[in-house]
Structure 1
Amino acid sequence: MTSTESDQLGRRVWSLFTPYRTSLVVIAVAVLLSSGLGIITPFLTQAAFDQALFPADGSGVHIELLAWLVGGMVAVPVVSALIGVYQTYRTTLLGNRVMADLRGRLFEHLQRMDLAFFTATRTGVIQSRLANDVGGVQSVLSETASSILGNVVTVAAALIAMVVLSWQLTLVAVAMTPLFLLLQVRVGRVRRKLAARTQESLSDMTAITEESLSVSGVLLAKVFNRQADEVARYREENSRQVDLQVRQAMSGQSFFAVVQTFMGITPALVYLVAGFLIAAGIGVSAGTIVAFSTLQSRLLFPTVNLLRVSLDVQTSLALFGRIFAYLDLRPRIVDAPSARTLETATVTGRVELDRVWFAYPPAPEPAAVPDGTEPVAEPAPGDGSGGDGGVAWAVRDISFTVEPGQLAAIVGPSGSGKTTISYLVPRLYDVDRGRVLIDGRDVRGLTQASVADAVGMVTQDTYLLHSTVRDNLRYAKPDADQAEIEEAAKAANIHDRILSFADGYDTVVGERGYRLSGGEKQRLAIARVLLKDPRILILDEATSALDTTSERLVQQALENATRRRTTIAIAHRLSTILGADLILAVEAGRVVERGTHTELLAKGGLYARLYTEQFAGGKVECRCADGVRFSDGATLLTGHADGRAVTGRDAA
């Protein structure tokens, strides 16, 4: 890092304290008083020797003067200690408030980051920035500022007092200081590099912990009998962390040993020089020598502390650089300056994709961003010419319209772009070309909050908080009362099941809902989106991983959810979308077919092939004489008439 970058980083760190100017002034006054009082004692000592104990006129000991001087020597440290306690309280309070601001600012910024950032960054690394990096600068925020000010004032005052007593002896005491400062700069650079590597190792350890000790990670390790490998992986990183911590702790210790050695022998050199001065006829009294020795001790410890604090600051700059690197990341999805609010009450639910192209953007690891600089801007996919431009397009020139209240289904093989399309409607990603419109308005011209209010999603991988059933439902509507919660649960076919739990709606579902079955989690997710009551609903393969009984219950809940709503369903099980108003068959990011179930089956294309593969493979409840029997009791009647395929669906 260059000196300019260090200065910029230092200014950014200092800016964290600007909201607390009053506290800084109070702390500065307390430091000045405490440090200033410490200089009084050596002069009281000099007076005690030269005027009270051994007066130059030989008049004997002045008891009354000595009593006053001793009283001053007692009062000064008492007052200084009281001020020090108050100063410690104010600095600790200030430091923790600044650190809380930094943590909150970082968390808030991460909440605004787009989905692409989180898909490319390990959760453990993010957690490490919030915990380890911010925690690592706590001492700098809570102690260093006051420590630097206090030590600077003490050193300055001590030097002035020493010059007043004897400038010759002062030169001896500070002769090696410039060399120490140069050595300190070199040691600081080494420690900063080690600090950055240490925090990277901590990030890796946190990521390993988060991955391997989560419910999913533990289950994976047990199923594949990889616990020993996970332990070995953690131990390897742990050993690396130990090595880095030791190297960081020992860096500069030789330097400090030299400094302390010189500081330790300096008083002897002072006595020697004082002897030469007295022999040369230069007047140096015994009181002056004693006072100077006292000041030397006040110079020694603050100087060593300043050198240590300076190294700590340089070490902390590496951590601040990592924190600011995250704060400098710019989310790709932001509200336009002229963004309008989509009024939920007036949304009709018309969804249109107009010649949409999209490619997933790269998301570099923020730790690679240079400290104190902004991340490098990333090129947008494509060359703007309308061709592929060498870009791995996930969606290619897709256009379709879903009218208010309609059910549109998207089907296709894995990796064809189905889920990607569903992410574009609520603006989890921005299209690279074309437009996504809700009620005729481009979502990029609407506020993200209003789009999120209008669109609800039920995904295949249901995420539940480690909290109660009620809290998980209220996540969609924090002010929902119990009647609203139960109404949504009943519509999702989960109310009776919740009441069967010992604690009912107060049942804790466990991390990611692992105490519930797959069908229960999905129905709870449906209840949550019903409580939100969005006008547009997106279902991403919500029943693909369920057994037939759970699928029937979930499907009934979905039918309740889709009533009077515009619905886009990504379907793996085609039996769930036979009655869709519009079916889009997607392959390699393109819509290759569109129409109703009957129309697409008659075409004999991709949809018909998927249909044949799915049902011929026995992925239904049974094949009966009259057709295919579904898990909900309905029957798909199949046959041929006039040389074409015909289908129908009868209720059992």
Structure 2
Amino acid sequence: MRHHGEAAPSPSTPPPSSPAPARPVQTDWQALRRLFPYLWHYKWRVIAALLFMVGAKLANVAVPLLLQRLVDSMTLRPGDPRAMLVVPVALLLGYGALRLMTSLFAELRELVFAKATQGAVRSIALETFRHLHSLSLRFHLERQTGGMTRDIERGVRGIESLVSYSLYSIVPTIIEVALVLGILAVRFDAWFAGITGCALVLYIAFTVSVTEWRSQFRRQANELDSAAHARAIDSLLNYETVKYFNNEAFEARRYDERLEKLRRARLKSQTSLSLLNSGQQLIIAVALVALLWRATEGVAQGRMTLGDLVMVNAFMLQLYMPLNFLGVLYREIKQSLIDLQKMFTLMEREREVDDAGGARPLRQLQAPPTVRFESVGFAYDPARPILRQLSFEIPAGKTVAVVGPSGSGKSTLARLLYRFYDVQQGRITIAGQDIRAVTQASVRQAIGIVPQDTVLFNDTVAYNIAYGRPGATQAEIESAARAARIHDFIAGTPAGYETMVGERGLKLSGGEKQRVAIARTLLKDPPVLIFDEATSALDSANERAIQAELQGVARNKTTLLIAHRLSTVVDAHEILVMEAGRIVERGTHAQLLAQQGRYARMWELQQSGAEESAAAQEMDAVHSHGSGGAGRMFVSPA
């Protein structure tokens, strides 16, 4: 069953009526506060980096001061012997040393702080990854993988950009501005500091206001970029469906529509950037002319020396060079904060299914446990109940089968047992323990499932089988494969167990994927088993062979068998017939046939259909084995 929607409220355990919303990070300062603890974990490196940064700026500000003395020292009469002794030895070497110290301190700052930056990136990326795995199935059914991965990628990259631009550019520039204004005010009259200060205030105000106005275009471009990326990923993941319906041109048109919107948004962003840069250059040019006019006037009146003029010019060039990039820096910082907010918002998304406070692991099961569904009510959407006051028991070590038409709620039983969702009425217990009162990890550790739709990792066959119990030996992997009747086929391929299965296992046929899933579950060897249409993709011959293996494996397990084909449930200890979320019949195979009810009618219909297709299935099985294996497994594109 594939019903998605909202869970109905319940007096006993009120679930959210919609997917658990994220608590958005509202402001830039909140995003910075969220980031700070990750950096402060490396506080000594942060402090050392700040000290190196201050040292670099002190050395940088000292360069124009030394340049002023160098120029004034050159005002000697021709032939004065001091010209060759004092200037080259003292001032030139000092000038070179200050330049070297500026670069050296800057490199030391980056070297020291790199570990803090990369450590914070690693911690946040790992925490985001873990949080995504902790979110409910509803979130993952509704997400857009391409757009979400793009947001995470930009958020992680935004951390590096934010630290780089703020610590390496903005903060040093602020320190340098404060030092320069102080020197100008002390060494000369207040006009120099006033002109410089007013120009800086006007420059920053203009840059911030225009950049804030421009941010809407950048944000819109990012959203369109994520949408285009999500469209492309979704189309490529559904490659076969596109081919089935000959819709390559249709997919290209849809992708191009998003690219066209993205192009327009980026053009608006570039046009507004040109406006910003032009305004900044105008403010800088006016300020430089005013300062140099004031300095030139001072030299002409004898209040200032040529060295002072050179120093003022050097200060201004040195100061306005980084300010030229203030718009870019501010824009990148704002964008990094926006990207961080998106990622932190994702991290703040509340878990729809979470462990109760003080939840303990499921008590160790020394023997197969009894599983009970007690008056269970559940709905993905309040307007459409799925399960209605459902009660049944799977005795310890026994097999209970659930059958019924599509949409009756069969697969929902497995999802609730796994706690992908929580029940809204009643409760589910394992060995007498309410699964909502114990940890989710311990519940899932006790259950193994062979799902109807098997999705495999894009890795080797061995990896996918061993996923049931990471760390299993090769002998254990092969033993599970033998039990699932797939070992001989795998061993007969050129790469054997090291053969890659392709993305989502697309190089395997449906039956082969299902047999790998069976082997994976057999390797896990849990006390509770769920077979959700476990043999639905197999032909009759393989179904009978694997069914015998599954019966042997389930002999000492508590097993829930969900099936559509009734031939797979005839040996169950009890069979439940579901319809519209209720159990309408129950009993053994023989008892249900004797009742001449819904089960008997379903059996009659399936048996008549089976007789008509049996010969064709047998021929398919013979052809499959004669050609070396079923379907598409490990078929080269060539």
TM-score, normalising length: structure 1: 0.85
2:505–2:513 CA contact under 8 A, matched in 1: yes
Tell me the distance in 2 between the aligned counterparts of 1:138 and 1:289. 40
* From 104, 112, 119, the counterpart of 1:82: 104
Residue matched to 1:123:
145
1:439 aligned onto 2:431: yes
Assess, with a 3 A threshold, how the Cα gap between structure 1 residues 485 and 618 changes in structure 2: closer, same or farther. closer
Distance 2:47 2:305 in 1: 40
What does 1:49-198 correspond to in 2, within 5 Å?
A: 49-50=71-72, 52-54=73-75, 62-67=83-88, 68-166=90-188, 167-198=190-221
- Counterpart in the other structure of 2:252: 231
Which residue pairs with 2:235 in the alignment? 212
1:287 to 285, 292, 307: 307
Distance 2:117 2:278 in 1: 30
What secondary structure, in the 3-state scheme, does the structure 2 residue paired with 1:174 have?
helix
The partner residue of 1:37 within 52, 55, 59 is 59
2:30 corresponding residue in structure 1: 8
Q: Counterpart amino acid of 1:497?
A: F
The 1:307/1:223 distance shift into structure 2, 3 A limit, reads closer
1:269 aligns with 2:261: no
Contact 1:155–1:298 under 8 Å retained in 2:
no
User: In structure 1, how many angstroms separate the alpha carbons of the residues matched to 2:368 and 2:544?
Assistant: 29
CA drift at 1:204: 1.9
The equivalent residue for 1:525 is 517
- 8 Å contact from structure 2 (residues 158, 337) kept in 1: no
Which one of the candidate residues 400, 413, 416 is aligned to 1:424?
416
- What amino acid is the match of 2:415? Y
Task: Specify whether residues 188 and 346 from structure 1 end up closer, same or farther in structure 2 by C-alpha distance, changes over 3 A only.
Answer: farther
Structure 1 residue matching 2:556: 3-state secondary structure: coil
How many residue pairs get aligned? The number is 594
- Distance in 2 (CA, whole Å) between partners of 1:297 and 1:241 is 38
8 Å contact kept, 2:299–2:306: no
Aligned match of 1:299:
319
Report the residue type matching 2:320 in the other structure: L
Q: What is the aligned partner in structure 1 of residue 557 from structure 2?
A: 565
- Letter of the 2:491 partner, please give it: L
Residue matched to 2:467: 475
State the 1:455 CA deviation.
0.5
Letter in 1 for 2:513: K
2: CA distance, partners of 1:344 / 1:253: 68
Identical-residue share of aligned pairs (%) = 33
After superposition, the C-alpha distances for 1:367-402 in whole angstroms (9 at most, x for unaligned) are: xxxxxxxxxxxxxxxxxxxxxxx5422211100001
Residue 628 of structure 2 is matched in structure 1 by none
Instruction: For 1:211, give the aligned amino acid.
Output: D
Contact 1:396 / 1:590 at 8 angstroms: preserved in 2?
A: yes
Q: Within 5 Å, give how 1:449-528 maps onto structure 2.
A: 449-528=441-520
CA drift of 1:14 comes to 2.7
- Assess if the C-alpha contact under 8 Å between 2:199 and 2:287 holds in 1: no
Alpha-carbon RMSD: 2.7
* CA deviation string 1:443-484 (max 9, x = no partner): 011111211111000011112111112111111112212222
- Do 1:38 and 1:77's aligned partners in 2 also have CA atoms closer than 8 Å? yes
- After TM superposition, the structure 1 stretch with the greater mean CA deviation from structure 2, 3-12 or 433-442, is 3-12
Q: CA deviation at 1:159?
A: 1.8
For 2:163 and 2:70, how far apart are their aligned partners in 1? 41
Mapped to 2, the partners of 1:282 and 1:13 lie a distance apart of 54
**Deviation of residue 118 (structure 1)?**
0.4
Cα distance change on mapping 1:104 and 1:4 into 2, 3 Å: closer
Cα distance per residue 1:272-331 (max 9 Å; x no partner): 23344567x571222211111110111112333344322322222211111111111111
SS of the residue 1:415 aligns to: coil
**1:328-372 deviation per Cα after TM superposition (whole angstroms, max 9, x unaligned):** 1111222222222224442422110000111226xxxxxxxxxxx
Q: C-alpha distance in 1, partners of 2:235/2:514? A: 25
Indicate which of 272, 291, 294 corresponds to 1:251: 272
> Which whole-Å deviations, capped at 9, do the CAs of 1:219-256 have from their partners, x for residues lacking one?
11111101111122222222323333343344343123
CA-CA distance at 1:7 after TM superposition: 2.5
CA distance in 1, matches of 2:433, 2:216: 50
TM-superposed deviation, 1:106: 0.8
- CA apart distance, 1:2: 12
Q: Deviations over 1:512-535 (max 9, x none)?
A: 222222222211111111110011
2:563 and 2:548 map into 1 onto residues whose CA distance is 15
Aligned to 2:629: none
Q: 1:250 to 1:138 in 2, by over 3 A?
A: farther
Cα distance change of structure 1 residues 41 and 278 upon mapping to structure 2, 3 Å threshold: closer
Checking the alignment, whether the CA contact within 8 Å between 1:151 and 1:306 is kept in structure 2 is no
Counterpart CA distance in 2 for 1:321 and 1:249 is 24
Q: Indicate which of 532, 535, 540 corresponds to 2:527.
A: 535
- Residue 94 of structure 1 contacts residue 142 of structure 1 at CA under 8 Å; is this kept in 2? no
CA distance in 2, matches of 1:96, 1:548: 55
> Which stretch of structure 1 is more off in the superposition, 84-93 or 16-25?
84-93
**Alpha-carbon separation, structure 2, partners of 1:274 and 1:86:** 36
* Structure 1 residues 450 and 182: CA distance shift in structure 2, 3 A: same
TM-score by length of 2: 0.87
Structure 2 distance, partners of 1:490, 1:53, is: 92
Gaps of 5+ in 2: 1-22, 622-638
Aligned to 2:372: 352
Distance 2:611 2:230 in 1: 39
Aligned partner of 1:364 in structure 2 is: none
Shift of 1:539: 0.8
1:311 equivalent among 331, 347, 352: 331
CA distance 1:359–1:141, shift in 2 (3 Å): farther
Cα shift at 1:497: 1.7
Contact 1:342 1:446 (8 Å CA) reproduced = yes
